[in-house]
Amino acid sequence: MSTVYAVTRRLLSLPALLLRREVSKEAELLVLRHQNTVLRRQVPRVRYEPADRLWLAALSHLIPRSRWAEIFPIKPATLLAWHRTLVAKKWDYSKRRRPGRPSTAAAVKTLILRMAAENPRWGHLAHPR
């Protein structure tokens, strides 16, 4: 096992000397992909949080759609569904407040009317209710 490792390491180190940056990036990608493969074997189903979904949906714009199946840990249809959900939530105005000024609390109204009645010189004309 150790001789196979040594030979593999020597073979991989030669291009690394020539193209240090590119090989380093490619090696990092290979490590991350292998790590992803190992984790997929251990976990039956991964639950993605909204932040994870947003991140994957945003990164999908940088990668050609033809490569999605081999890069992303989810199906392309799932990724597109997440993106549709994000867009729908952005343009959903149903839960927003109604326009206009919020109503004044009843305690504040009572206090204002009492002060106005106690101070007739302020100019408030009290209307009996």
* Residue whose structure tokens are 């010189």: 121
- What would the pLDDT profile of 43-78 be if each residue is shown by its tens digit? 777 788 888 887 877 777 778 888 878 777 778 888
Question: 106: pLDDT confidence band, cut at 50, 70 and 90?
Answer: very high
pLDDT recorded at residue 15: 62
88: pLDDT strictly greater than 80: yes
- The segment with the largest mean pLDDT, out of 20-24, 45-49, 104-108, 124-128, is 104-108
Burial of 72 (0-12, 13-18, 19+ CB in 10 A): middle
